[in-house]
Chain A
Amino acid sequence: MEQQQETVLAFKGLTRRFGGVVALNEFDMELTNGQIVGLIGPNGSGKTTSFNVLTGIYEANGGSIEFLGQDITSWPAQKVYEAGVARTFQRSRLCLELSIFDNIMIGAHKRLNHGFMFNVFKRKALQQQIKENYEEARKLLTIFDPELADKMFEPVGSLRMIDRRRIEICRALISHPRLLLLDEPSAGMTHEETRELMDDILEVREMIDGLSIILVEHEMGMIERVTDKCIVLNFGQKICEGAYREVASNKLVQEAYLGGE
């Protein structure tokens, strides 16, 4: 049923410590083309840290990260993004005083011309580029919420949390990533809103060829519905991997969740 089994991302023995805390401990994982992987685990188990190490915000203390056949372990955040990884943040990180359009355009950074001469003196060409990108941003946002797409020049700070999450996802998607990292996208949403959001994400995935997704999520319904496989972390260690059903019935996993809270 899979078209290709190309490996997109591979962690090998990935380790990260914060002082005495081992946030990631010899973490191995693999992700293939077009796959959606659920990354779950109790609070403080290292899910966000794995995103931060992967995207170059934190250095790894050990192990390696391979993305599309390249060793990106020590790459800076900018280079990881250029290579095709885009993410959202657990605590939404948008520029609240900027407009929706501005925020989405930050995601399009690698396709824009940032030359001084171009930006200051070639105004016609710049405005052409602005208008083209506006159309694309608008189209993308319309998939998530047509009403929101009519407010492109309103400040993000004036919007509801759900809308902000949608914009953050659009900012990631506009970069045409190969790998999308979603860190608790449904936090603070109702079941209905969560379902809608996930439908939208799946719809967009159909449009971007071979997009793989890692989804960190506490909402198990969502994990069950959309993921191809799940990985469970506890104290920075992978304790289980497999389809949602197998993972959910695993003894270790049940203990971790019971012991975690």
Chain B
Amino acid sequence: MTQSLKDKLIILLLAALGAAFLVTFIAIEEQAEIFALLVFAGVLIIASAKLGLTDKISQSLSRNERLLNLSVIAAMLVVIFWFHEDHFPLLMIATVLLYVVACCGLNMQFGYTGVVNFAGAAFFGVGCYTAAVLGGTGTPLLLVIALGGVMAAIIGSILIIPVLRTRGHYAAVVTIAFGLLFRTFLEVNDTLGGPQGLPVSGMNLFGWDFNSNIQITENIEFSFYMNYVILALIMVILTFILMRRIERSWIGLNFDAVRLDETAAACYGINIKRWKILSFTLGNFLAGTAGALFAMMLGFIAPSNFAFSDSLILVSIVLLGGMGSIWGTILAAGLVVLLPEKLQVIQEYRFLLYAVVMILILLFRPQGVLPRNLRSYIPGWRG
């Protein structure tokens, strides 16, 4: 069997395994079973790492990017269609997908350019409230999503001057303050519903009602959440393409240079402000688009959804996955959103557990669970 055929088989096998794992994990309810499944997965991963399999596998993956991406999409579609009539699993999957989009935004800021943003939930929230306000006006769905992103980017520009002027801890404090202000603003603002929040009316895509179930045949009915999951998956794909293209371009190189050494970057003509503004704005845009769809999906939003702790969760997803690593963000978003939903033990001690995991990651694996690779500008090309 040739190497390339082997690579392809490995990818298909992994995608099938991943889909099967996700379906099982989401479907089972019994706590002991879930726990057993997780232990099984953990042992499998540790064993293959010990046997040196993970290195081989990751080489196979990086040689066949296209197939890998397509297989993962196919696996996701299998999982989604498996649960086509179950509201709750679909809602969970869509939530993971939208977190991926928002965290990719943060990753663009923090992972690529080194601009810290502890107000991720606020920018996500701007998108949510944009959708709520536009809800009754008959604005087309896709436009609402885009406007959610645009609003987040515009509101983010308030922060640009302090973020450009300050560095490190100070920039963190500035964004934390902004996040708190945002929430307080929502709570006292009656036109935006005050502390009770706002309902978000259902959306239409070209006359297609997003909030009613879809009758396929007499016996098959899709949950209305299918609409949102599919749209969220499309958003993830577009975000992934954008992140990848930026990373594999001169812009990505400029981002890295700004993050790693501003002085050297300046001595080689790199305009620090320009690239920080671009990455901050794009990142907030992504968070806003994710928020807009999220609000329409939930149908109701309140200021309590956008607390500082939610921003911390977004940041911890980026750190857990690995700075600048897109696959890392996808994996970490899955873990951080799904685990507490499935394991009640975690639900209660959620934040304690996050804190412990964060400290362990920063101490022992600062590059994250799926570290970012060196930039390869053109897949498969090495000079």
Which segment, of B93-101, B184-192, B251-259, B292-300, faces chain A? Answer: B251-259
Would A153 and B376 count as touching, CB distance under 8 A? yes
Say yes or no: is A152 at the interface (Cβ < 8 Å to chain B).
yes
Number of A-B pairs whose CB atoms are under 8 Å? 98
Contact between chains at B260 and A97 (CB < 8 Å): yes
* Total interface residues in chain B, CB < 8 Å: 30
Could you mark each residue 352-383 of chain B with 1 if its beta carbon is under 8 Å from any beta carbon of chain A, else 0?
Answer: 00000000000000000000001111100111
Using Cβ atoms and an 8 Å threshold, which residues of chain A touch B261? 93, 95
A88 to chain B, nearest CB (A): 10
- Shortest Cβ gap from B272 to chain A (Å): 9
A217 lies within 8 A of chain B by Cβ: no
Assembled-state Cα–Cα distance A94/B256 (Å): 11
Whether B242 is near chain A, meaning CB under 8 Å from some CB there, is: yes
In the complex formed, the residue of B with least CB distance to A171 is B268
| Bound Cα distance from A134 to B376, whole angstroms | 12
Closest approach, in angstroms, between the C-beta of A150 and any C-beta of chain B? 8
Nearest opposing residue in chain B for A98, CB measure? B256
**Chain B residues within 8 Å of A81, by CB:** 267-269
C-alpha gap A127/B248 in the complex (Å): 10
The answer for the CA separation of A155 and B242 in the assembled complex, in Å, is 24
Assuming the A-B contacts A93-B263, A95-B261, are A120 and B375 also in contact, with contact meaning beta carbons closer than 8 angstroms in the complex? Answer: no
Are A127 and B269 closer than 8 Å at their CB atoms?
A: no
Question: Given A76, A77, A109, A153, which contacts B383 in the complex, CB threshold below 8 Å?
Answer: A153
Which residues of B lie under 8 Å from residue A110 when comparing CB positions? 269
Whether A130 contacts B377 in the complex (CB less than 8 A), given A109-B268, A112-B250, A114-B250, comes out as yes
Q: A202 vs B297: C-alpha distance in the bound complex, in angstroms?
A: 66
Does A208 reach chain B (CB closer than 8 Å)?
no
In the complex, B9 has a CB within 8 A of chain A: no
Q: Would you call A106 and B383 a contact (CB within 8 A)?
A: no
Contact call A95/B267, Cβ cutoff below 8 A: no
Bitwise, B258-283 to A at CB < 8 A (1) or not (0) is: 00110111111111000000100000
Within 8 A of B (CB), among A95-113: 95-99, 101-102, 105-107, 109-110, 112-113
Q: Does A162 contact B (CB under 8 A)?
A: no
User: Is the C-beta of B249 less than 8 angstroms from some C-beta in chain A?
Assistant: yes
- Which residues of B are interface residues toward A (Cβ below 8 A)? 242, 245-246, 249-251, 253-254, 256-257, 260-261, 263-271, 278, 374-378, 381-383
- A interface list, Cβ under 8 A from B: 55-57, 76-78, 80-82, 86-87, 89, 93-99, 101-102, 105-107, 109-110, 112-114, 116, 119-120, 123, 126-127, 130-131, 134, 138, 152-155, 171, 175
List 24 interface pairs A-B (beta carbons < 8 Å), by A numbering.
A77-B263, A77-B267, A81-B269, A86-B267, A87-B267, A93-B264, A95-B256, A95-B257, A95-B264, A96-B260, A98-B256, A101-B383, A106-B264, A109-B269, A114-B251, A119-B249, A119-B250, A120-B246, A120-B249, A126-B250, A127-B377, A152-B382, A153-B374, A153-B383
Besides A95-B260, A106-B268, 12 new A-B residue pairs in contact (Cβ under 8 A), listed by A number: A78-B269, A78-B270, A82-B269, A89-B264, A98-B260, A99-B375, A102-B253, A102-B256, A106-B257, A109-B254, A114-B250, A134-B383
